[in-house]
Amino acid sequence: MSDRLRGRDRAPSSYVLLRTQASRRPDAPAISAERALTWAALFHEVEELAAGLLSSGVRADHVALLAVRPGAASVVVELALRAIGAVPVRIGPGAGAAETGQAFTVAPVSLVVVDHPERVDALAGLPLGRAKLLDLTDTANLAGLVEVGRARLRQEPDAIAHADRMVAAHATLPRVVGSGGEALAPTESRQSMLLTAHDRVLLVGEPTDAFTWQVRSACLATGAALGWVGGLEELADAIGVVQPTVLALAEGAATGLEPMLLDATVGGRRWHSAPGSVLDAVAAVAEGAVVGGPRVPRGSRRRATAIAALRPWFGADLTQVLVAVDTSRRLRSALDALDIDVDVEPAAELERADLPRPAARRARPRPPLPQRQPSPVDRHFAALTRPEPVVEEEDEAIPASPHLRPLLTGESFLDRVLAEQAAARTAVPATST
């Protein structure tokens, strides 16, 4: 663990950045999505959950597998785990079950966090026998874990700050298990991505995408408020909630935005009867405006003005779109016409970052039994009285806790799910009479 110690780098950790924002702008919005949290509220949630996990046995070098959808809960859990030195890990879309299982055999998972009980199904077959489960939908259990954290902080107000100081910032970077079973992490970035503390950012992308990490890191560094959804199907509703000044689109969302706009509605109706022709006209006018550009077809200028009907769909405050990949000429021209700037911010590079492994076995001598005075016969039994090494292995599993249940042992949720599925398959449907 020597390369994970804080002394190896001086970059501020995510916990330090969060504490700084909470100190400077406690009442400013930090999360603006399905749950609205100020920076002070976010800091307290993260610290209390981190203290609860720490008191329940989660510690530095523990691997935590997250199956949590984008949103406030994902942000809180990830920041809490990083604050105590644990490593949050997600399974990438290209990772096979066998490869992922091999990765988790080498670096065992200690904690599994889910935001829906059914997500445990997707983990069947992975070597998670010693892992504990934290189900965020079990509100009573989660509240108990947070209360344990509050009690810990009352006794040790600096418990999380101390735990955070012990581990280097780079060591807790979120990992993604990709194709081939390799654990990858984004290169640590403190770039602002042109964001300011007054921005409201709406991020569209999956947690396993490096671009989403880059945007979330920039929000934490600059103090911009973050709204986060996983896909374009949630975008229209999220715009109404967040009222973003900046829209950040990961690669999949960036390429899918133009087709989505062709079917967009404003006030319950399609914004134009022939949206494709309007986008073509806008692009033609933009090209014609360039010195030496092609001649603008007749009627295109008048048709291009219809693009204004699309502006309410983006919200009144949107001024910038950040994309991981360049957009089409039609989309860029349309956004330009709506006074929305487009900036390409390539996703951070993913590089290999091994998961923490269990502590190496260590041997210590077994104390010899009390001996009588040596006699000539003892030379024949010297091997029996010589101290023998005892091989001990440090237990990497999280100890029993009332708030972190066994995942695959005893009466776990997965056992119940599998039993219910088996019962459903064998159930005889009732016949009507």
User: What pLDDT is recorded for position 231?
Assistant: 95
Task: Return d(Cα 175, Cα 185) in angstroms, integer.
Answer: 5
User: What pLDDT is recorded for position 100?
Assistant: 87
**Residue % of the chain over a pLDDT of 70:** 79
User: Of 277, 332, 342, 340, which Cα lies nearest the Cα of 313?
Assistant: 340
Task: Return d(Cα 368, Cα 86) in angstroms, integer.
Answer: 39
Task: Return d(Cα 4, Cα 169) in angstroms, integer.
Answer: 8
User: What pLDDT is recorded for position 2?
Assistant: 44
Task: Return d(Cα 21, Cα 1) in angstroms, integer.
Answer: 29
Residue 200 has pLDDT above 50, yes or no: yes
User: What pLDDT is recorded for position 64?
Assistant: 94
Residue 379 has pLDDT above 60, yes or no: no
User: Of 87, 217, 82, which Cα lies nearest the Cα of 163?
Assistant: 82
User: Of 158, 5, 134, 10, which Cα lies nearest the Cα of 65?
Assistant: 134
178, 351 Cβ separation under 8 angstroms: no
Please state which CATH number belongs to domain 37-185.
3.40.50.12780
pTM over 0.85: no
User: What pLDDT is recorded for position 17?
Assistant: 95
Cβ neighbours of residue 132 closer than 8 Å, sequence gap 6 or more? 110, 111, 112, 397, 398, 401, 404, 405, 406, 407
Residue 421: count of CB within 10 angstroms of its CB? 11
Q: Which two tokens stand for residue 145?
A: 């874990």
Residue 50 has pLDDT above 90, yes or no: yes
Q: Which residues pair with 67 in a beta bridge?
A: 114
Residue with the bigger pLDDT between 418 and 169: it is 169
Cβ neighbours of residue 337 closer than 8 Å, sequence gap 6 or more? 282, 285, 286, 304, 307, 308
3-state secondary structure of 273: coil
Residue with the bigger pLDDT between 253 and 297: it is 253
Q: Which two tokens stand for residue 296?
A: 């603008």
101, 126 Cβ separation under 8 angstroms: yes
User: What pLDDT is recorded for position 293?
Assistant: 59
Output the average pLDDT for the chain.
84
57-71, 272-286, 355-369: lowest mean pLDDT where?
Answer: 355-369
Q: Residues spanned by CATH 3.40.50.12780 within the chain?
A: 37-185
Task: Return d(Cα 261, Cα 244) in angstroms, integer.
Answer: 17
Residue 1 has pLDDT above 50, yes or no: no
User: Of 152, 116, 151, which Cα lies nearest the Cα of 135?
Assistant: 116
Q: Which two tokens stand for residue 182?
A: 């390799």
User: What pLDDT is recorded for position 288?
Assistant: 77
Residue 402: count of CB within 10 angstroms of its CB? 10
**Measured on CA atoms in the order 179, 212, 25, 136, is the torsion positive or negative?**
negative
Q: What tens digit of pLDDT does each residue of 137-147 get?
A: 999 999 999 99
Residue 139: count of CB within 10 angstroms of its CB? 9
Beta strand 350-352 with 341-344: parallel, antiparallel or unpaired?
A: unpaired
249, 321 Cβ separation under 8 angstroms: yes
3-state secondary structure of 372: coil
Which residue's entry shows tokens 């002394």?
Answer: 7
